[in-house]
Amino acid sequence: MDLDYFFAQAEELRRPEIRGRPVVVCVYSGRTEVSGAVASANYVARSYGVKAGMPISWAMKLLEGKDAVFLPVDKQYYSELSERVFGVIEQVGATLEVVSIDEAFLDLTSLTDGDFGRAEEIASSIKRSVLNETGLRCTVGVGPNKVVAKIACDRAKPDGLLVVRPEEVKAFLEGLPVEELPYVGKKVSERLRSMGIETIGQLAAVDPQVLISKFGEALGTYLHLAARGEYDEPVVPRTGRTQLSRIVTLKRDSRDPDEILAQLEGPMARLLEEARRQGYLCRGVGIIAITTDLKTLSRSRKLKEPVVDLEAFRRNVASLLNELLGELGEVRLRRAGVKLFELERAPGQKTLGDFVGSS
Ligand code: DGT
Ligand code: CA
Ligand code: CA
């Protein structure tokens, strides 16, 4: 799963008035007013040639007279959104590996028993829940391993879903340029080209020993297996999380604390259970509120003692909820959620990630 034009889409989400215009999110270096680089551009801006990494001044030239919007990055806001997206995806109940702020792998093997039709249904329900719960569009690729799934995802962008079944892998990869393989950047692809290798199909036909002698054991073996669609690295669960959260859509829009709290009972219990299973002690408790006009608000507090029982969790959530609803006046909530943060590893608890090391 990879979120579409993430930073730019996140800005569109909170400023609906800029939708349809070219949107460019920039990292301003501060040297001059326009120095810096483009971090993300929506598809309208891309249609004029704007790309991530491009100097801002260049993007401004391409978009002159096009009613474009240039905005500075707001990492804090994107991270919060990202956490919510992964929280939604986590509810699928499969192993989740978060790769970057907008990208994750999910191992559906145990949920599907290798049935790709079932995997397709789950993928499409993920797209739907991410959109319903966060307002964001994403693209999902499904394949027999991470390499194939990632390439499928890249090719299905934006707002896509592409399933590559085991028997389709060879035909799917064959004609693609070698650059489509993860880890094949400019340097590697130029060396491959100088060997007369341009497509993944051609790469798959090369003797692995030749690749190893040119690129070394690790990269050579990877190129050989990846090109054949056989590189099968496990999905490694995320570690070092900063918060856990659960959000639900309320049965009806509401501003009644008791009515809302009742619907948070399940999420609170599951969140505590998840924290316990992952070996976390949590000192931070928070609530997330999404209003009927889709504004996201949150309130949180840090406690002296970690939250260990549902009773303490509920008490804190109730008072945060009363506080927030009091401030909101007549505004009703459409969705509500709870979160735990300030996570610490309970003594003596280790996760798989601590042993294998995580990137
Ligand atoms: P996509 O996935 O092709 O629809 O577009 P993005 O914008 O989501 O691109 P992606 O998935 O490569 O990167 C996710 C976010 O990471 C992106 O919204 C902004 C940030 N990012 C990507 N490339 C750069 C870059 O070159 N510089 C900086 N500062 N941030 C970047
Ligand atoms: Ca993306
Ligand atoms: Ca990405």
Q: How far is 86 from 244, CA to CA, in rounded Å?
A: 9
Note whether 326 and 255 are within 8 A (CB): no
Q: What is the pLDDT of residues 39-66, one digit of tens each?
A: 999 999 999 999 999 999 999 999 999 9
Asked whether the bond before 158 is cis by omega within 30 degrees of 0, the reply is yes
Residue 339 pLDDT: 94
Of ligand 1's listed atoms, the one at least distance from the Cα of 7 is 18
Q: How far is 303 from 54, CA to CA, in rounded Å?
A: 45
Q: Which of 33, 90, 103, 133 is catalytic?
A: 103
Express as a percent the part of the chain with pLDDT over 70: 95
Active site residue 103: yes
All structural domains of the chain: 7-73 (3.40.1170.60), 76-168 (3.30.70.270), 175-227 (1.10.150.20), 243-345 (3.30.1490.100)
Q: What is the pLDDT of residues 328-350, one digit of tens each?
A: 999 999 999 999 988 877 665 44
Give mean pLDDT, residues 248-271. 95
Residue 241 pLDDT: 66
Kindly indicate the confidence band of residue 353, based on its pLDDT and cuts at 50, 70 and 90. Answer: very low
Pocket residue to mutate for ligand 1, from 1, 102, 139, most atoms within 8 A of Cβ: 102
Residue 358 pLDDT: 34
Note whether 40 and 52 are within 8 A (CB): yes
Give mean pLDDT, residues 13-37. 94
Ligand nearest to the CA of 100: 3
Residue 78 scores a pLDDT above 80: yes
Give mean pLDDT, residues 110-116. 94
Kindly indicate the confidence band of residue 160, based on its pLDDT and cuts at 50, 70 and 90. Answer: very high
Residue 240 pLDDT: 61
Residue 147 pLDDT: 97
* Ligand 1 proximal residues by C-beta, below 6 Å: 2-7, 27, 37, 39-40, 52-53, 101-102, 157-158
Residue 238 pLDDT: 66
Q: Residue 280 forms beta bridges with which residues?
A: 345
